[in-house]
Structure 1
């Protein structure tokens, strides 16, 4: 059996269309994956800016006075709801826009939505750089959030639909690699702008226009996906798009026929995608739509990514060293994410989930123990001894490496590939929206939770990592190397989800193998 022995959508043919890695598919996917730059830049820049004294002095002077109060609980230095609203407002805006992006994507295509997202992010970065009051900051963050929501919904779908099945994990991981590159560039920018008195934060926020411009230019030069073109009633243009992606010498006839069959299957049931998700035959997809983003955010990784400088300040680092610690974390994340793109399509999704989850739990338990023993369980200790503070940095690096190798890229890869075409946009939109909504809640309450739970906050997150890993072990089938048009066969073989698998014809094909 060619291509790993998975059935195509119809006719019993088993292959992955012979699609290989060509220059055209690499260039196209890299240009689409660059959408991750804007999300990553914003994650990296906000945490650093919110602990810059020049930024706090202008907009949040009460926080500055609190951090300088030596008698204040170390865990509560940055507990200010308006300050966290600066960070969290992006996520609530991104939640709303990602839901809208689902219907827009089906109407105008993946490529157009990525372009819209880049333009909105560009406008938001300009607004933030020129902010003169908190209201202007929040408006800018909302515009940036709208841009993130559009691109986070469309780009992973684009990558899943254009990449060869055998290497889909690696190509879809490219989005996360660009996200980490964006985070790294933001933390490096913060490291230098933190030295500029008075207005360094404006440079950090304004330079978000650079990744936004890259996304806009990239979106202008990539074609829409063949699946999207056929779905939008433009089948005459789809073969040329597929030929451009696969390369001039590729035989795309078989793959195009399966794309058309998948679209026809999606149109046979003309009820809405969201209504379809609630039906019994789609129960497994609905569970994954909710479970994957929910468990992901409850691991605490988003708050570690956003508030790493704040955490480093909490354990006693200076402002400049706290930002430098974030630069180190970003470099570790980039290394592990790049490694993940190499091993994901060889080791499989489930193996990375298991190993990453186990390592993340160990690191979180160790951080909790270290904070409890050397920063204090209450408010008796203001800063940690230097050696133990460095130990926290090492543990966060190990945590970040484990996350970047596994759950970081898998968060984007798995949802983009498991949904059938008729609910793909809706499923991806709901996955992204739930993740962003929970990110909003997490970033809004994290400093309060840190102040209230203290060292035990990492025990809380470790417990959720354990639950998520157990859920993956029981309910997520392996999807490595499976063509998108044949993904239903994976669910039909699963010990539990096969009772909900809707397409009996696919089950017959699987049983005949």
Structure 2
């Protein structure tokens, strides 16, 4: 096959087609950039397992350990601790704040430089967490990791959407979501093993985050920047050279001219955030905010963050809760492969809205099981009921993984104009991290007070239908505008 890849026409919404191939450079760059998702996923998966380890609780949260051992109060309130929740949520609050700075670096320094900055934050954060001696040092480490998440989540979806040919952009962009799920699975596997290592198994869990960090940071020094970013920063000739390399053809003049024109318009925009409020951009801004908000309102991160904690509350033994988390993590990965196949073949309306009905039914089933079988004092769910719980959770996770998971990140990076794309991506990431922080900080307290009704709270797919059905096109179309190169 020519250029080491297969031919793919980059179709434009206007009807124009740009010649393009999926070249080795595109594949290598996309895989390397998406490795940042491993770090994000590992941070999501590791926290729930570590917080349920007795050695970790003894070191930083002795009150939680004493409450659990004495079996005082409701099972639902066993892990109700603001400090314990802060360990998880502080990362996302830091990510929220750092996103505003990342928007500037993405625009002024480029996508690649922003990923390098993210890698530096990741490295220092891992060192602080692995060597933590007190709660303050632990939280500082999580904050540094959060800064890395903010910079990475700002740059990576933009990088992937700009470097991939349009017709394959959805699948290649889903690599980010795929690596997030692989990172979660990796963290669950690590937690399952380190839970048996006393008393420093939790340190190993937190330190092994260095593995994806090294892959991502080193890769960021060898990849090319996107033609859009180079041209936007006035390096047009270099941008054209890179465009020829990643498209695998010399015939890049039409696409190059379109990017140059979009860059000219972008430079005329003095305040891209203010431009998002213009009439033509408001629908895109609304879709972006609603997508990220409802993605979190599905309750997915309650499972991803606190799976072992939640399963222990339901009556699972400690080891069973860890390997059950591994099972759900594996289902998450496999389902994301499905999404990579269907995202460019099936309309977004079906993926975002109709799959929401299936998620709704899973939440109803989970609420019924908890109401029927889990009491304040129950300590054993029973074999058959435990299997049912795992099946329900796996169904819920799989539905999310091929719909709201990848499309929550894909749609904003594909729809904004070049002049507002960085600002739009910043709003997207900020909204996601804001709601992620809120639910990470309050979920265990909500579980304590709402008990089985916690899953009733997350019955949000009907809201998805009401709010988004008029806004989302039935076909997998990109917003028609200049500069969506």
Q: Give TM-score scaled by structure 1 length.
A: 0.90
Tell me if structure 2 keeps the 8 A contact 1:46–1:306: yes
Cα distance in 2, alignment partners of residues 16 and 164 from structure 1: 11
Partner of 1:283: 282
Partner of 2:392: 395
Partner of 1:70: 71
CA distance 1:226–1:479, shift in 2 (3 Å): farther
- 1:13-28 maps to which residues of 2 (within 5 A)? 14-28=15-29
**In the alignment, is residue 433 of structure 1 matched against residue 430 of structure 2?**
yes
What residue ranges of structure 1 are gaps of 5+ in the alignment? 9-13, 489-513
Partner of 2:251: 251
CA distance 1:365–1:487, shift in 2 (3 Å): farther
SS of 1:138's partner is helix
Tell me if structure 2 keeps the 8 A contact 1:97–1:146: yes
CA distance 1:380–1:255, shift in 2 (3 Å): same
Query: Which of residues 439, 444, 453 is equivalent to 1:442?
Result: 439
Partner of 2:146: 145
Q: Return the offset for 1:30.
A: 1.0
Tell me if structure 2 keeps the 8 A contact 1:16–1:165: no
Cα distance in 2, alignment partners of residues 91 and 252 from structure 1: 40
SS of 2:433's partner is helix
CA distance 1:487–1:298, shift in 2 (3 Å): farther
CA distance 1:348–1:19, shift in 2 (3 Å): farther
Tell me if structure 2 keeps the 8 A contact 1:184–1:330: yes
Partner of 1:115: 116
Partner of 1:510: none
**In the alignment, is residue 313 of structure 1 matched against residue 312 of structure 2?**
yes
CA distance 1:31–1:429, shift in 2 (3 Å): same
Q: Summarize deviations over 1:410-436 as a string: whole Å, max 9, x none.
A: 111111111111110011011101110
- 1:87-486 maps to which residues of 2 (within 5 A)? 87-247=88-248, 249-268=249-268, 270-376=269-375, 379-462=376-459, 464-478=460-474, 480=476, 482=478, 485=481
SS of 2:160's partner is helix
Cα distance in 1, alignment partners of residues 308 and 369 from structure 2: 18
Tell me if structure 2 keeps the 8 A contact 1:165–1:482: no
Q: Summarize deviations over 1:30-85 as a string: whole Å, max 9, x none.
A: 11111111100100111100001110111111111111233421111100110110
SS of 2:119's partner is helix
CA distance 1:289–1:364, shift in 2 (3 Å): same
SS of 1:185's partner is helix
Q: Return the offset for 1:350.
A: 1.9
Q: Give TM-score scaled by structure 2 length.
A: 0.95
SS of 1:428's partner is helix
Q: Return the offset for 1:15.
A: 2.7
Q: Return the offset for 1:280.
A: 2.2
Q: Summarize deviations over 1:182-233 as a string: whole Å, max 9, x none.
A: 1111111111111001000000101111111111111111111111111111
Cα distance in 2, alignment partners of residues 140 and 257 from structure 1: 45
Tell me if structure 2 keeps the 8 A contact 1:73–1:382: no
Cα distance in 2, alignment partners of residues 331 and 180 from structure 1: 8
Q: Return the offset for 1:279.
A: 2.3
Tell me if structure 2 keeps the 8 A contact 1:73–1:381: no
Cα distance in 2, alignment partners of residues 27 and 442 from structure 1: 35
Cα distance in 2, alignment partners of residues 422 and 265 from structure 1: 7
Q: Summarize deviations over 1:230-271 as a string: whole Å, max 9, x none.
A: 111111210111122222x45222111111111122234x33
